[in-house]
Amino acid sequence: PIPATDTINHTNYLIPENPLSGLVGCPLNGIWSIEICDHWGRDNGWVFEWMLTLSSNSGAAGWEYSVDIDSIDWDGQSFYPINDSTAIFNPDSSGVYNTYITVYDEYGCTYTSTDPLTIEVIANPEIDLGEDTTLCEGMPLILNAGGGYDEYLWNNNTTDSLLFVEMSGLYSVTATNYNIDHTLGCSGSDTMIVSFIPNAMVDLGPDQCVTEGPVTLDATYASDFSYQWSTGENTPVINLTQPGVYDVSVNVFYDTPDMCSAQDTVHIRIIPEPIPPLPDTLFMCAHQARILTAEQPNYNNLYNFIWSTGNTSTMQTLSNMSPGVYMIQVKIIGCDTLTDSTKVTVEACDITIPNVITPNGDGINDQFQIGNLEYYPNSEIKIYNRWGKKIYESENYQGDWDGDNHPEGTYFYILRLNYGNGTLREFHGTITILY
């Protein structure tokens, strides 16, 4: 029997007889078994309670517990892993983003960490000043770097979003957005080359009237400018050589016909000196019509004509004039003015008709010659004998009928005198042949 006095306080912890220090360095992975034995015979092997506690700090002083990492998984919105230790985080907007990191060690143990990241996304300014540009002097140009950014800085040290440009040059701007506490800024930049071209100037001079060419018109301006003449030419200088009247215009421009352009027009007349056109004298019969012309070879349209009669055409018709002497004058007006005149003598030119011819071959009165008949061309005559038989006829009588050996006697004629313009006058009479 066990004495009643052989007892132990069951509320105490007993230190094991054999320490666990021998387990240091043993692999932890796997299934472990431990046997708890009671060496107290007096309680007949009764174990009230036991407990095993493991501590990561249970090693000896100066020792470290180190396990190799097998792999790491990254997860979360906008995370892009590069390798086990590095991932790229590329959020689209500000906010709170959860990151999930799972670590697997060489023994298959898993360690998971979840961390919230509060992100403020600062937008990079997108600056577009446009393409390089060329403008005419005096044209307005405002460069716009866009609105809504925190800070602007132009290369001329101005700080507005807009820049008024008046001079040629390279212009650049940097716009910056900052975070809330102004510790981080994101910037964007752009540049533009601006060229101002001077506006063209052109002066073709005063209107000109010259008697011969060439006339040189010079519209020369700067080397980069183009020229467009109304004559179709495109050189800075043109020459007008041929007689004529020219309204010449030119457009001087840069790049396109309406860019930095200037225009001018000049009236040029090249009119040769007039040639005197009239005869010194002119004889005519009162029944005749004569035409005086002041025409100039090839260039009538370049002149103005003024006759003393008031006529302004190139020709002056003289008709139905009474016998007398007249001075007919014309002014031919070009660049120079020429005055020319002619002395016109007008006579009645009445015809005289003989009544006897003596065609005996002595050269005197051998033919039926009518005085002044030469002023009535294409006059007709018919001659009849006493019995009414036509013995001679001519439609353009020249005063050459000599009787045609007809016997002496009296014959009858009908003369149709041609006054011109379809006017005929008929004369009747007799002609006697004597040998």
Residues 333 and 389 in one domain: no
Q: Is residue 105 part of a domain?
A: no
Q: Is 292 exposed, middle or buried (0-12, 13-18, 19+ CB in 10 A)?
A: buried
In what side-by-side order are the strands of the sheet with 151-154?
A: 133-136, 185-197, 169-178, 151-154
Token couple for 70:
């097998």
Residues 5 and 84 in one domain: yes
381-405, pLDDT tens digit by residue? 999 999 999 999 999 999 999 999 9
pLDDT for the residue numbered 14: 61
- Give the span between the Cα atoms of 25 and 58, in whole angstroms: 11
CATH code of the domain containing 398: 2.60.40
Residues 18 and 93 in one domain: yes
Q: Is residue 56 part of a domain?
A: yes
Amino acid at 142: I
The total number of structural domains in the chain stands at 5
Residues 2 and 71 in one domain: yes
Residues 84 and 34 in one domain: yes
Q: Is residue 182 part of a domain?
A: yes
Q: Is 287 exposed, middle or buried (0-12, 13-18, 19+ CB in 10 A)?
A: buried
Residue 239: pLDDT above 90?
Answer: yes
pLDDT for the residue numbered 33: 73
pTM as predicted: 0.59
Residue 5: pLDDT above 80?
Answer: no
Residues 68 and 20 in one domain: yes
Once rounded to an integer, what is the mean pLDDT over residues 70-99?
83
In what side-by-side order are the strands of the sheet with 226-229?
A: 208-210, 262-270, 244-253, 226-229
H or E stretch covering 336: none
**Domain final residue pick, 146, 178, 197:** 197
Residues 27 and 73 in one domain: yes
Task: Identify the weakest region by mean pLDDT among 105-109, 177-181, 194-198, 313-317.
Answer: 105-109
Is residue 379 within 8 A of residue 416, CB to CB? The reply is yes
**Domain final residue pick, 142, 165, 197:** 197
Residue 90: pLDDT above 80?
Answer: yes
Residues 76 and 11 in one domain: yes
CA atoms within 13 A on the CB side of 300: 8
Token couple for 116:
């919230």
Phi-psi region of 279 (alpha: psi -120 to 50; beta: other; left: phi over 0): beta
Cα distances from 381 to residues 50, 293, 336, in angstroms, run 180, 34, 53
pLDDT band per the 50, 70, 90 thresholds, residue 159: very high
pLDDT band per the 50, 70, 90 thresholds, residue 147: very high
Q: Is residue 271 part of a domain?
A: no
Residues 225 and 143 in one domain: no
Residue 12: pLDDT above 80?
Answer: no
Percent with pLDDT over 70 in the chain: 86
Q: Is 324 exposed, middle or buried (0-12, 13-18, 19+ CB in 10 A)?
A: exposed
**Range 400-419 burial, b when 16+ CB lie within 10 A, else e:** ebbbeeeeeeebbbebbbbb
Token couple for 338:
């020429």
H or E stretch covering 132: none
Is residue 298 within 8 A of residue 321, CB to CB? The reply is no
Once rounded to an integer, what is the mean pLDDT over residues 79-103?
84
Q: Is residue 127 part of a domain?
A: no
261-306, pLDDT tens digit by residue? 999 999 999 999 999 999 999 999 999 999 999 999 888 999 999 9
26-72, pLDDT tens digit by residue? 555 566 777 776 666 555 556 556 666 666 555 555 556 677 788 88
The chain-wide mean pLDDT, for the chain, equals: 89
**Domain final residue pick, 347, 380, 400:** 347
Residue 20: pLDDT above 90?
Answer: no
Percent with pLDDT over 90 in the chain: 68
Token couple for 127:
């600056």
Q: Is residue 166 part of a domain?
A: yes
Residues 373 and 320 in one domain: no
Residues 212 and 257 in one domain: yes
- Give the span between the Cα atoms of 185 and 176, in whole angstroms: 6
Domain range spanning residue 240?
Answer: 208-262
Q: Is residue 115 part of a domain?
A: no
Residues 253 and 286 in one domain: no
Backbone angles phi, psi at 131, to 5 degrees: -75, 155
Q: Is residue 128 part of a domain?
A: no
pLDDT for the residue numbered 44: 57
- Give the span between the Cα atoms of 253 and 250, in whole angstroms: 10
- What does DSSP assign to residue 113? E
